[in-house]
Each structure stands twice: as structure tokens, then as C-alpha cells.
């Protein structure tokens, strides 16, 4: 079964139809998606800017990362779930857009970057994160995160403007 056939099945499903045809469902899901982005990517930007050394340099990285981690993860879960719902509602239109494939690629790269950072540096942030000058690889991870999540948001916002009606 091709990706387009799967998208068609999702689009034609009861859930896809209900999301599209409801006066309230799609806007509520879209609003929750934006709230999830604010919590996930919005808070992640604070961490990334600290990793780059341009924000809260006097605060240890762990003191920023650790309290934000549950909010970031909760935001990512909300963003993921609502993103899937938004896709289901318009799957046949979205699956054909190259910008959607770019968005998925940027999400994958951002996820790999986050996983690499967590496995390599995140658990030991209390050991290195007090310094005002952080290791180059940590700075790179922060820069890559800022760049990739910005590209995810930009490509996501392009989807409704490039959609085929």
C-alpha cells in the first residue's frame, strides 16, 4: 500500500471526516498544537540560547534544563498528538506537498540532535553546565536545535499556504 493510499484511508476515516466537518474540532486541535509548540519549542529556545552562551550565562545549564524538562516533554507529546490529528484531517492534501516531507525530515534531524545531546551531554550537565564557556559540541547541539526547530515551524506554517485546494 502506498503512502498516498494510506493518507486516503486516514482522510476518509470517521476521525478524519469528523475533524474536517466539525465547526470546533479542527480549530481546537490546531490551537492545542500551537500551545504544545509554545511549551516545547518555546521553552527549548531558552535552553538552546543558554547552551550558546547568549542567555542566562550566570545560571548553570542544569538549573534551566531540569525544571523545564517535564514541560518540554509534555509540550512535545501534545504537539505530536495534535500534529497527527491535523495530518489525518487533511492527509491527502498534505502528503503531496514537498514542504511536508521537509518538515518531517527536519523533525527527524531535530529528534536525532536531541537524542544525541541527551545521551552524550544531558545527564552530566551538572558537571559542565556551570561554566560560562561551554564545550563546542554542546554549543553546536544548541545551534542545531534552534535551527532545526525553526525550520520545522517555518515549514509547518507553509503547509496551509502551499496546500492544493
For residue 163, what pLDDT is reported?
76
For residue 132, what pLDDT is reported?
66
pLDDT in tens, the chain (165 residues): 898 899 999 999 999 999 999 999 999 999 999 999 999 999 999 999 999 988 888 888 888 888 999 999 999 999 999 999 999 999 999 999 999 999 999 999 999 999 998 888 777 766 665 666 777 888 899 999 999 999 999 999 999 888 766
Q: Which residue has the cell 551531554?
A: 121
pTM greater than 0.85:
yes
For residue 104, what pLDDT is reported?
96
Grid cell, residue 12, equals 476518509
Provide the H-helix boundaries in 22-97: 25-37, 43-52, 61-89, 91-94
For 31-34, which contacts have Cβ atoms below 8 Å and span 24 or more sequence positions? 32/78, 32/82, 33/78, 33/79, 33/82, 33/83, 33/86
Cα 101 from chain centroid?
14
CA distance 19 to 97: 20
Amino acid at each position: 500500500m502506498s503512502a498516498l493510499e494510506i493518507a486516503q484511508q486516514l482522510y476518509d476515516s470517521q476521525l478524519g471526516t469528523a475533524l474536517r466537518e466539525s465547526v470546533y474540532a479542527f480549530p481546537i486541535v490546531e490551537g492545542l498544537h500551537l500551545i504544545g509548540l509554545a511549551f516545547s519549542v518555546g521553552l527549548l529556545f531558552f535552553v538552546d540560547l543558554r547552551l550558546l552562551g547568549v542567555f542566562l550565562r550566570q545560571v548553570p545549564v542544569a538549573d534551566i534544563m531540569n525544571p523545564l524538562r517535564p514541560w518540554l516533554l509534555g509540550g512535545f507529546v501534545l504537539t505530536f498528538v495534535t500534529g497527527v490529528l491535523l495530518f489525518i484531517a487533511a492527509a491527502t492534501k498534505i502528503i503531496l506537498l514537498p514542504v511536508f516531507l521537509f518538515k518531517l525530515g527536519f523533525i527527524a534531524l531535530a529528534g536525532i540532535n536531541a537524542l544525541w545531546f541527551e545521551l552524550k551531554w544531558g545527564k552530566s550537565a551538572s558537571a559542565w553546565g556551570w561554566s560560562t564557556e561551554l564545550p563546542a559540541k554542546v554549543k553546536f547541539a544548541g545551534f542545531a536545535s534552534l535551527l532545526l526547530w525553526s525550520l520545522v515551524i517555518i515549514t509547518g506554517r507553509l503547509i496551509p499556504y502551499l496546500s492544493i485546494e
